Amino acid sequence: MGTILDGAGLAKKIKGELHEKVKKLNKKPGLVVLLLGENPASKVYVKHKEMDAEEIGFLSKIERLPVTTTEEELLDCIERYNQNDDYHGILVQLPLPEHINEEKVLLAIRPEKDVDGFHPMNIGRLVSGNPLMTPCTPYGIMELLEEYKIELSGKTAVVIGRSNIVGKPIATLLTAKNATVTIAHSKTKNLAEVAKSADILVVAIGVAEMVDKSFVKKGAVVIDVGMNRNAEGKLVGDVKFDEVAPLASFITPVPRGVGPMTRAMLMKQTLEAFERTL
């Protein structure tokens, strides 16, 4: 049985350290989360972010906007927070309703306040090796790998999934640590065979328990980014945990793996955004 990478435990430690730093400040760092509509999962994630921010001692606000909000109204709202010096981090919860152009919205957030790291300027900086803000899920994965002293240099990494928020940036971060990275996706031929070549396997496909033991080399490090509800309504990852864990050297659980680390990195980047204003 592989070692379980305790994302929840590490996230708790990081949030405790942030709290200690915030206690010493004269002003509270501020985080605003913009939530459009009533997506049940998004509502839970946003609530968790609010709880984390309050626990650490941030000024925390959720702007709950109706699903009928127009793109122009959303852009106006973002601009108000761009101009508001009490808020150092602005985040728009994804996914957005279909009538809103996600690219336009992410471009509207000032890069210095883009604590999600999704603004094209922040993506460009990440790719060129001079990051300002890093997408929180990939950042959290890298912190977890570092905490457990998992060697990356010279290792073969396969990332299944090519999203802008996870697949592409984690591939960039692993490459920066000298891993040899392949990005695989729904059109990849012989996906299980490609995955099985990996020393480090990152799975971010959004299909419940799709990755079974046929995808995993003995001794591989398996990072499961998936967050799905199975037929019984239980939260499961993209990896069949019980089948894969005995093969892996390290593996993240779902829940309590990558998810809490995503939130911890959001808090870390909010404090850093605040510190840059001092």
Ligand X SMILES: Nc1nc2c(c(=O)[nH]1)N[C@@H](CN(C=O)c1ccc(C(=O)N[C@@H](CCC(=O)O)C(=O)O)cc1)CN2
Known catalytic residues are 49, 93, 116
Which one, 48 or 185, has the nearer CB to ligand X? 48
Nearest to ligand X by Cβ — which residue? Answer: 259
139 counts as binding ligand X under rule CB under 6 A: no
Cα separation, 190 vs 196, in Å, equals 10
> Minimal CA–CA distance to 113: which of 162, 79, 158?
79
227 counts as binding ligand X under rule CB under 6 A: yes
Q: Rg of the chain's alpha carbons, rounded to an integer?
A: 19
Between 254 and 273, how does the x/- string for binding to ligand X read (CB under 6 A)? xxx--xx-xx----------
Q: CB–CB of 235/255 below 8 Å?
A: yes
Between 28 and 57, how does the x/- string for binding to ligand X read (CB under 6 A)? ----------------xx--x---------
Looking at 59, 127, 235, 247, which residue binds ligand X (CB under 6 A)?
235
With contacts defined by CB under 6 A, name the span among 78-86, 89-97, 183-191, 208-216 that binds ligand X.
89-97
- Coil, helix or strand at residue 238: coil
Cα separation, 212 vs 216, in Å, equals 7
Which one, 17 or 50, has the nearer CB to ligand X? 50
Residue 122 CA: distances (Å) to CA of 12, 112, 163: 26, 9, 16
- Coil, helix or strand at residue 47: helix
Judged by CB under 6 A, the number of residues near ligand X is 20
Annotated binding residues for NADP(+): 161-163
